[in-house]
Amino acid sequence: MPHPNPGGTPTVGAVLDNRPSYLSFGVAWLLGYGAFAVSHGDDPGLPMPSAVPAVLLGGGLLTALIITGVVIARAQRGVRGREAVVGKLLAVSWLVGFGALTLLITALSTALNEEQVQTLLWPTGSGLIIGMIYLAGGAALHDVLQYTLGTWLAVMSSAALFLEGANMYWALALTGGGAYLVAAALESRRCGPLSAAVNAAP
């Protein structure tokens, strides 16, 4: 992110390295949704207590959100003006997005009196919200990789609703979690040139 130097000339500022965030989300999706997939149905491939997949996914996502918060906070150190405002708005968007999703799913579940609403919409809706936040972040920070990842997660998570049974969870685990891991690998290529620019800046 760019920020002004003491002399008032714009320079390259802190580099937002998303690798820890992408890796933690990728592992959470692979383990969490993978556990839901193998334990789904009347004849699961790997029987386990129903709480185990939820704990794996919930714990993994919470850990990933904390890591993401730390990454953003470090990148915001010393940043002033418009860039600081953008960072804060993007951070708040996580709370707004998931707060709105909670209200939507709760209202639909109550109105339709159907437990399957939560089963279907929590995993896919979460992917959609995360994808849209990445779209906004990628556009605001001129981060093509984050924007591409957001596009993939938003479309893939929504399309997973067409799949039945465990297939929905397999799609989220493999194509969603896998996309995070690919993004983490590609992030090294993006951060290298940016870090060099930061070190070279006066």
**H or E segment to which residue 10 belongs:** strand 10-12
Reported confidence tier of residue 192, pLDDT bands at 50, 70, 90: low
* Position 111 pLDDT exceeds 80: yes
**Residue holding tokens 């707004």?**
96
CA 161 – CA 167 distance, rounded (Å): 10
For 48-88, give the DSSP string: --THHHHHHHHHHHHHHHHHHHHHHHHHHTT--HHHHHHHH
Place of tokens 């949704």: 33
pLDDT reported for residue 15: 57
pTM, entire model: 0.82
Please, which pLDDT band fits residue 114 given cuts at 50, 70 and 90? Answer: confident
For the record, the structure tokens of 5 come out as: 């130097």
